[in-house]
Structure 1
């Protein structure tokens, strides 16, 4: 099942901040972790604009590091203090929205 682009756009910032909050990581690894968590499939090209936007907002910091595999340097992302604050705001909004949607869907099921 595919998820609409508008829905994904609203969720990706929070999902990516949540992953980066778990520890320093790089773009491809973020994609792999999203897949491991059964997050709806996203393309490589859609994650990097989100990372750039999060960096411009000051929610993540970046550092170039040598690859463990001997390949080219990678850009590693770490969450900042303001990123942690934004993640907490997202988490609260998500909990509120999720509760409302679950209540609504249960009432639809009960009406059937």
Structure 2
């Protein structure tokens, strides 16, 4: 099952930060990292990725710089210290949420209510 931009709403920023945590990437490489890292489930359109990257840059969570590769300009993004802090916090929140969801969705007895 592939996830679209709507299913990832609220989680896209942390996924982009995680994709940049391993080092700088240009926009298309970020898109490919999400696709490959998710086994093809998060194959998002560039029209979703680039506005989100711009929003993260405006927020100071990533920084971008221009370079020329084979005569073409491309923007490379890297995570900032503020972005690293945000990623760390968001990872912790995600682990807590996933643990609670797993506990509720796994088969087993539900606690009795009085």
Q: TM-score, normalising length from structure 1?
A: 0.87
Post-superposition, which runs of at least 4 consecutive aligned residues in structure 1 deviate over 2 A? 1-7
Alpha-carbon distance, 1:41 to partner = 2.2
Larger Rg, first or second structure (1 or 2): 2
CA RMSD of aligned residues (A): 1.6
The aligned residue for residue 13 of structure 1 is 13
Unmatched segments (≥5 aa) in structure 2: 110-114
The aligned residue for residue 96 of structure 2 is 96
Separation of aligned partners in 1, 2:88 and 2:103: 23
Separation of aligned partners in 2, 1:94 and 1:71: 41
The aligned residue for residue 37 of structure 2 is 37
Unmatched segments (≥5 aa) in structure 1: none
Q: TM-score, normalising length from structure 2?
A: 0.85
CA offsets per residue over residues 56-102 of structure 1, 9 Å max, x none?
Answer: 110001100121xx141110001111000110111011001110111
The aligned residue for residue 56 of structure 1 is 58
**Higher-helix-fraction structure:** 1
